[in-house]
């Protein structure tokens, strides 16, 4: 069990906007795990005290650097190795 915090940010938003090439898809991170035991496992985005006022463990900013406080949903992944229900 544990908590991971990570992010991606643009430091020169004016240059990014001037490029007129907004990202429309991509990855913030690719995470791999070592299997320690064979059992059903879940990985979820969750609210924590380290990210106050987050939306399901996420904080998102718009093209101008303004924080979005609504208008999007976080879709959680299903259970990994769901054939083994010894969770």
The percentage of residues in the chain with a pLDDT greater than 70, rounded to a whole number, is 93
> What is the pLDDT averaged over residues 4-9?
82
By three-state DSSP, how is residue 29 classified?
coil
Q: Is the pLDDT of residue 87 over 60?
A: no
Res 12 pLDDT > 80: yes
pTM for the model: 0.68
Beta bridge partners of 68: 60
Answer yes or no: is pLDDT of 84 > 60.
Answer: no
Q: What is the mean pLDDT of residues 16-22?
A: 90
Q: Are 40 and 87 in contact (CB under 8 A)?
A: yes
User: From CA 81, how far away is CA 50, in angstroms rounded?
Assistant: 29
């Amino acid at each position: 069990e544990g908590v991971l915090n990570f992010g991606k940010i643009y430091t020169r938003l004016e240059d990014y906007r001037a490029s007129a090439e907004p990202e429309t898809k991509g990855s913030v991170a690719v995470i791999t795990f070592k299997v320690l035991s064979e059992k059903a496992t879940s990985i979820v985005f969750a609210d924590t005290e380290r990210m106050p006022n987050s939306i399901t463990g996420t904080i998102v900013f718009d093209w101008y650097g303004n924080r979005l406080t609504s208008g999007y949903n976080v879709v959680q992944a299903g259970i990994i190795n769901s054939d083994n229900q010894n969770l």
